[in-house]
A and B are shown apart, each in its own frame.
Chain A
Amino acid sequence: MKRTQKDLYTDQLSHRILDAEAEIQPDAGIAHSIVNMFRVNRAALLGLILILLILLLALFAPLVARCDPDAIDLVNLRKPPSAAHWFGTDDLGRDVFARVAYGSRISLMIGFVPSAISLVLGTALGLMAGFLGRRVDALIMRLADVVLAFPSLLLAMVVMYTLGSSILNMFIALSIINWAGTARVVRAQTLSLKEKEFVEAARSMGVSRWKIVFRHILPNCLPNLIVLFTLDIPGAIMWESSMSFLGVGDPNAASWGLMVSQGKSYAYMCPWLILAPGLAILITVMAFNFLGDGLRDAIDPYMKT
């Protein structure tokens, strides 16, 4: 008797499997879609390659640049580009190529660090605002409004003046102007994800609130955050360049922006002094923007479902 019961059961199972049987879609996945994007979107690929090159440049600056970037050579002041000095020399006779190569370290750091800080800060605050709602939401968002209402450059400069010109304070200033944008995006996404049926399903199963945030909401924000991060980096580099140009940067951190600023007095006579670091900024910012745009396009269709 028991046996027939079991037979019946296996019978039923096999019937169900027959019902549902079908080849399932091959795993395309987000990684696949990103790889595919690089194949189609040449600009994004170019961006990726350029970023890798710049990273290599920063990493191997001592090998690439044959001279010390701070070695002063009073004999060769403001020499145009030559075989010995590829990008010429500056007003203290320092090798501009070496300074651009070493400057990439500072500029990239200024791109990454504040973007990372504002990413973490903005995500945390955005999640809290979106998920807790009510008073927490009101408080965080009003704070963000205040930050966004100020002209960013002015705000950053005020911070720099108050705290003093150092690279650390530059990180702080840039983080302060950047977090609010991230927080807004994360909050908006949290609000929409909160209403999704899968979140409701998790609630109905008795999954705790914080588990819902970390298992469902944050992972679904992540692709957008990556895009946001890649687009924040060139922004930070630009802000730093502007501030250095205006004279509120760290005078000891030889970033590209500072080089442009220092070279501006000789712009007509020795254009290489601003062209070399200027082009470096241009290429870096463009590369990150290309990559960010490409990533966004690749991720977008995933965010719809």
Chain B
Amino acid sequence: MAELLRAEHLVKEFPVKGGVSHVVTDVSFSIEKGETLGLVGESGCGKSTLGKLLLNLIPATSGRVWFKGQDLSRFKGEALRSMRRCMQMIFQDPYASLDPRMSVGRIIMEPLDAHRVGSSAAERAEMARDLLEQVGLRREFFHRYPHQFSGGQRQRIGIARALALNPELIICDEPVSALDVSIQAQILNLLSDLQADRGLTYLFISHDLNVVRYLSDRVIVMFMGQICEMSTTDQLYEAPRHPYTRFLLDSVPQPDPLLRDETRALLTGEPSSTVNPPKGCRFHPRCPYADARCRAERPDLAEMAPGHFCACHHPLMDREILS
């Protein structure tokens, strides 16, 4: 597989009252063409910011993003605008991401218009109608307005818009978390169908570990702006090495009362502030395995097994995983 996108030492810091908020700290990874890379983490871990950094929607403090071998940060103005054709985004909130004053047709045609795709407006309108059909909506909905649609239907419109320019990479920022359970499944199916049809590459950002597991080939777990574990989906879910990943997986309430376990260890405490993050490993204040080294020295992302990376001084071994 070929590498489609590579992030190198991405850093994003925001100035805030009383210091600097370290939202994303030294994140490097790559996305292969045709795969789905899941990005999970709890709120405030920087996963959404990371998605926007990749698209250059917000400027990075430092670091580089390479897309098909080209350095994205070097693009400005018109060149950046045309680069955006290759990467699109699906947003979390289907209510806020569609302009309420625009008809569905105009919403889907907007990216086509912006890049002057096709020879005429009529041709673009026809393309928009085709797109509607591809995401499971009727062609006649072209003249309707977003408020006439349910959340799931709106998300389909958002997906049609993201598909319009035939991008290679789609960044899905929590695309199903605002939807009801039964609608979630519809959208997830649609996303995987479209991937199969068009050979799309997804970066799938979500806080829902079950959803990420279903859709992803590889998964990155983020904690407080850093990658703490990165691996293939099966390895990560079945044999997590980072204590945080393990706790996270254990916390998910499973829809099966037989799996209730009131004695299992839960993560204690709350995430620290990103303004003055803990020295050393950022997870150490909540980690039961933390020792002096964790408090002093930041662990690097190291390859524990082929393709399985983990940033921890005391990665979980098989023995502990089984216990």
Direct interface between A and B, CB < 8 A = yes
- A224: shortest Cβ distance to chain B, in Å? 12
Asked if B153 contacts A20 (CB within 8 A), the reply is yes
Asked if A206 contacts B136 (CB within 8 A), the reply is no
Please measure, in the bound complex, the distance between the C-alpha atom of A19 and the C-alpha atom of B145, giving whole angstroms.
Answer: 20
Asked if B101 contacts A205 (CB within 8 A), the reply is no
Within the complex, which residue of B88, B137, B147 is in contact with A205, where a contact is CB–CB below 8 Å?
Answer: B88
Query: A207 on the interface (CB 8 Å rule)?
Result: yes
Please measure, in the bound complex, the distance between the C-alpha atom of A201 and the C-alpha atom of B57, giving whole angstroms.
Answer: 10
Binds B, one of A71-79, A103-111, A208-216, A233-241: A208-216
Given A198-B98, A198-B99, the answer on whether A26 and B148 have CB atoms closer than 8 Å is yes
Asked if B147 contacts A25 (CB within 8 A), the reply is yes
Within the complex, which residue of A27, A196, A204 is in contact with B88, where a contact is CB–CB below 8 Å?
Answer: A204
Please measure, in the bound complex, the distance between the C-alpha atom of A202 and the C-alpha atom of B115, giving whole angstroms.
Answer: 12
Query: A16 on the interface (CB 8 Å rule)?
Result: yes
Asked if B161 contacts A205 (CB within 8 A), the reply is yes
Please measure, in the bound complex, the distance between the C-alpha atom of A302 and the C-alpha atom of B100, giving whole angstroms.
Answer: 9
- B306: shortest Cβ distance to chain A, in Å? 35
Within the complex, which residue of B84, B98, B137, B152 is in contact with A206, where a contact is CB–CB below 8 Å?
Answer: B84
Please measure, in the bound complex, the distance between the C-alpha atom of A7 and the C-alpha atom of B171, giving whole angstroms.
Answer: 30
Query: A271 on the interface (CB 8 Å rule)?
Result: no
Query: B114 on the interface (CB 8 Å rule)?
Result: yes
Q: Which residue of A has the minimal Cβ distance to B106?
A: A215
Q: Which residue of B has the minimal Cβ distance to A16?
A: B136
Residues 152-188 (chain B) with a chain A CB within 8 angstroms: 152-153, 156, 158, 161, 165, 186
- A274: shortest Cβ distance to chain B, in Å? 46
Query: A36 on the interface (CB 8 Å rule)?
Result: no
Q: Which residues of B contact A198 (CB under 8 A)?
A: 96-99
Please measure, in the bound complex, the distance between the C-alpha atom of A219 and the C-alpha atom of B88, giving whole angstroms.
Answer: 24
Per-residue CB proximity of A1-35 to B under 8 Å, as 1/0? 00000000100110011111010111111000000
Asked if A29 contacts B102 (CB within 8 A), the reply is no
- A198: shortest Cβ distance to chain B, in Å? 4
Q: Which residues of B contact A203 (CB under 8 A)?
A: 57
- B182: shortest Cβ distance to chain A, in Å? 10
Please measure, in the bound complex, the distance between the C-alpha atom of A19 and the C-alpha atom of B150, giving whole angstroms.
Answer: 13
Asked if B110 contacts A205 (CB within 8 A), the reply is yes
Query: B9 on the interface (CB 8 Å rule)?
Result: no
Within the complex, which residue of A22, A206, A219 is in contact with B115, where a contact is CB–CB below 8 Å?
Answer: A206
Interface size on A, residues (CB 8 A): 35
Q: Which residue of A has the minimal Cβ distance to B185?
A: A19
Q: Which residues of B contact A162 (CB under 8 A)?
A: none
Asked if B114 contacts A208 (CB within 8 A), the reply is yes
Please measure, in the bound complex, the distance between the C-alpha atom of A200 and the C-alpha atom of B153, giving whole angstroms.
Answer: 20
Q: Which residue of A has the minimal Cβ distance to B141?
A: A24
Q: Which residues of B contact A165 (CB under 8 A)?
A: none
Q: Which residues of A contact B144 (CB under 8 A)?
A: 24, 27
Within the complex, which residue of A27, A204, A208 is in contact with B89, where a contact is CB–CB below 8 Å?
Answer: A204
Q: Which residue of B has the minimal Cβ distance to A216?
A: B99
Please measure, in the bound complex, the distance between the C-alpha atom of A215 and the C-alpha atom of B110, giving whole angstroms.
Answer: 10
Asked if A200 contacts B57 (CB within 8 A), the reply is yes
Within the complex, which residue of B89, B93, B111 is in contact with A207, where a contact is CB–CB below 8 Å?
Answer: B111
Asked if B193 contacts A206 (CB within 8 A), the reply is no
Q: Which residue of A has the minimal Cβ distance to B135?
A: A16
- B118: shortest Cβ distance to chain A, in Å? 15
Q: Which residues of A contact B92 (CB under 8 A)?
A: 197
Residues 41-58 (chain B) with a chain A CB within 8 angstroms: 55, 57
Asked if A206 contacts B91 (CB within 8 A), the reply is no
Query: B242 on the interface (CB 8 Å rule)?
Result: no
Q: Which residues of B contact A252 (CB under 8 A)?
A: none
Asked if A20 contacts B115 (CB within 8 A), the reply is no
Please measure, in the bound complex, the distance between the C-alpha atom of A200 and the C-alpha atom of B173, giving whole angstroms.
Answer: 13
Asked if B96 contacts A206 (CB within 8 A), the reply is no
- B139: shortest Cβ distance to chain A, in Å? 10
Query: A189 on the interface (CB 8 Å rule)?
Result: no
Asked if A20 contacts B186 (CB within 8 A), the reply is yes
Query: A242 on the interface (CB 8 Å rule)?
Result: no
Q: Which residue of A has the minimal Cβ distance to B80?
A: A206
Interface centre among A16, A26, A202, A219 (most CB of B within 10 A): A16
Per-residue CB proximity of B120-149 to A under 8 Å, as 1/0? 000000000000011111100100110111
Query: B85 on the interface (CB 8 Å rule)?
Result: yes
Please measure, in the bound complex, the distance between the C-alpha atom of A207 and the C-alpha atom of B81, giving whole angstroms.
Answer: 7
Query: B287 on the interface (CB 8 Å rule)?
Result: no
Asked if A17 contacts B136 (CB within 8 A), the reply is yes
Q: Which residues of A contact B57 (CB under 8 A)?
A: 200, 203-204
Given A206-B84, A206-B115, the answer on whether A20 and B156 have CB atoms closer than 8 Å is yes
Asked if B99 contacts A205 (CB within 8 A), the reply is no
Query: A82 on the interface (CB 8 Å rule)?
Result: no
Asked if B89 contacts A201 (CB within 8 A), the reply is yes
Please measure, in the bound complex, the distance between the C-alpha atom of A216 and the C-alpha atom of B101, giving whole angstroms.
Answer: 8
In the complex, 8 of the A-B residue pairs with CB atoms within 8 angstroms, ordered by the A residue number, are A198-B99, A202-B110, A205-B161, A205-B165, A206-B81, A206-B115, A208-B114, A220-B101
The 3 A-B pairs with the shortest beta carbon distances in the complex, nearest first, are A16-B136, A206-B84, A20-B136
Q: A13-B134, A205-B84 are in contact. List 7 more A-B contacts (CB 8 A).
A: A16-B193, A19-B136, A20-B152, A25-B148, A197-B93, A202-B110, A206-B80
